[in-house]
Structure 1
C-alpha cells in the first residue's frame, strides 16, 4: 500500500480560519480535510494517508526557511511514498507554501512531491511549473474538485511507479 503525506494550511487542516494565520507547524496521524474526500480515489491506487502536516499561512510567511526545512525533515523521517501539497484552491499564501515545500522535498529527499492549486495562483504557477508538478484544481467553491482529487492521486501513483508522466502532465497539470 502506498503511504501518502498531505501538507495543508491552517484552513484545510481544520486548525484555523482564514483570519487564524499564526497556527504553528503541526501534524495529525489520520486523514483530515480534503484527504477524507480523497478516500475513494486513494483506494483506486491502493494508497492511504499516513499523516497530514500543516502550518498557518502567517506562521509560514514569518518563518519560511524554518518551516520548509522542518516540513522536509518531517517528511524524510516519516518516509512516505509520495507527498501531496494541497489542494490550495485560490489561496495565494498556501499555494506559495505548497510550491516551495514540494520543490524542497523533491530537491532534498528521494520522496516525490507535488502541489495542486487553481489558475488564480498565476505567479506561483509561473515560478514553479518547470520545477514541480502542479495539478490543476478549481478555486474554492468551484466545480471539478472530485476530478482534481482523482488527478492528484493519478499523478502521485505515476510518480511513485516512476512511469512516464509526460502525457498525464499535459492533461492535468499546469505546463
Structure 2
C-alpha cells in the first residue's frame, strides 16, 4: 500500500508559529512523525511522500490550499492518505480535515488521521476520515502512532476498522431489522416509564447548561474583575503560558495601573495576529476603560488582580478547571461580577 502523509510546518521541521505561513511543499518518503508511522507499517504499507504546509497559510487560503495539496498528493498515486496526528491543535486539525475532504471526494481513497475529540476538525470533517482518538497534545504521540497504524493495517487488509478504534463519523446507514421503528420506540418508552434500562438507537448530545446568576443590584458599589482568554500577560510572559493548548492560567497584580502599554504588557496568544494586542493590550483587556468607569462612579472598584490564559486549543476539561480555580479565588476577594474577554 502506497501512502502519502500530510503534516504541518512544526512536525515537518520547518519551524513553529513564525513559519505557519509557509506554502505546501512535497518531500520524498516519511518526515517527522511519518518515520515512526512508516516503521509501524513495515511490511504492510510505505509512506512514499510527505506534504508539508503551514497551518496559517492553509486556513487563510483554504480553496487554493486544498487544490494545491491535492495536486501534490495525486502525483504519487497513493492507496491511502494519513494526515497528522493533529492532537488538539485547532488550525492543524482543520487542515487535516480539509485534506481528508478533498482527497476522499476526488481520489476516492481512505484517509486516516488522529485528533483529540475536542479538536474542531473532528466535528467539521469526521465524515471524510477515520479519526483515531489521541491525547490533548503531542505528548501522546507514542500511543497515537500505533493506534493509527493498526487502523491503517485493517484498511490495507480490506477489513472495516473495529468499533471503538475510531471516533464516530456521524454517517447514517440503512439497517434492516425484524421489528419496525414504531414498535421499537414504544418498547423503549415503556422501559423508560418503568424505570428499566434501555438503549436509544440515536444517542442525543449532552451539553452543559449553566444558569446565569442574577444581575448585580448596584453596579456603583460592585467590585468587578477582569478575566481573559486572550492571553494578556506582563511583558515577557513570566508564567510561560503556552501560545496554544494552555496548561495553566496566570494571576497578575494591577494595583493602580491605568493603562496597559506596549512596554509593560503583551499577548501570549498564538491563535491571532498579535500586532494590535501587543501595541495596546487594553484592546483585549480593557483596563483603561474600567478605570474611567471607576472614576466616574459607574462601578465601585476594579479588582486588584486580573486572570489570563490562552483559549485556542485549550481543552474543555482544562478550561473548566481554570474557571473553578479562578472563581474560588474571586470569592476570597468578595468580587461581585466578572467581565470575561476573548479575541
Please indicate, yes or no, whether the TM-score normalized by the shorter chain is above 0.5: yes
Of 127, 130, 134, 1:133 maps to: 130
2:59 aligned with 1:58: no
Q: State the Cα deviation string for residues 116-138 of structure 1 (Å, max 9, x = none).
A: 112231x3212222332111122
Q: Report the counterpart of residue 173 of structure 1 in structure 2.
A: 166
- How many residue pairs match? The answer is 168
Q: State the Cα deviation string for residues 125-159 of structure 1 (Å, max 9, x = none).
A: 1222233211112222434x333211212222323
Q: Report the counterpart of residue 70 of structure 1 in structure 2.
A: 68
**Could you tell me how far apart the structure 1 residues matched to 2:88 and 2:158 are?**
29
Q: Report the counterpart of residue 19 of structure 1 in structure 2.
A: 18
| Structure 1 segments unaligned to the other structure (5+ residues) | none
Q: Which has the higher contact order (CA 8 A, sep 6+)?
A: 1
The structure with the larger Rg is: 2
Give 1:161 deviation, angstroms. 3.5
| Structure 2 segments unaligned to the other structure (5+ residues) | 169-343
Do the aligned partners of 1:79 and 1:111 also contact (CA within 8 Å) in 2? no
Q: Alignment partner of 1:6: what SS? A: strand
Give 1:42 deviation, angstroms. 1.3
**Could you tell me how far apart the structure 2 residues matched to 1:131 and 1:30 are?**
24
**Could you tell me how far apart the structure 2 residues matched to 1:25 and 1:164 are?**
32
Q: Does 75-84 or 91-100 show the bigger shift?
A: 75-84
2:153 aligned with 1:154: no
Do the aligned partners of 2:4 and 2:78 also contact (CA within 8 Å) in 1? yes
Give 1:31 deviation, angstroms. 1.5
Q: State the Cα deviation string for residues 39-65 of structure 1 (Å, max 9, x = none).
A: 43111x522211110110111122110
**Could you tell me how far apart the structure 2 residues matched to 1:136 and 1:61 are?**
23
Q: Report the counterpart of residue 164 of structure 1 in structure 2.
A: 160
Q: Report the counterpart of residue 32 of structure 1 in structure 2.
A: 31
Do the aligned partners of 2:114 and 2:148 also contact (CA within 8 Å) in 1? yes
Please provide the CA RMSD for this pair.
1.7
Q: Report the counterpart of residue 7 of structure 1 in structure 2.
A: 6
Q: Does 147-156 or 63-72 show the bigger shift?
A: 147-156
Q: Report the counterpart of residue 79 of structure 1 in structure 2.
A: 77
**TM-score for both structures, normalised by structure 1:** 0.87
2:110 aligned with 1:117: no
**Could you tell me how far apart the structure 2 residues matched to 1:75 and 1:40 are?**
21
Deviating beyond 6 angstroms after TM superposition, the runs of 4 or more aligned structure 1 residues are: none
Give 1:10 deviation, angstroms. 0.5
Change over 3 Å in CA distance of 1:109–1:150 after alignment to 2: same
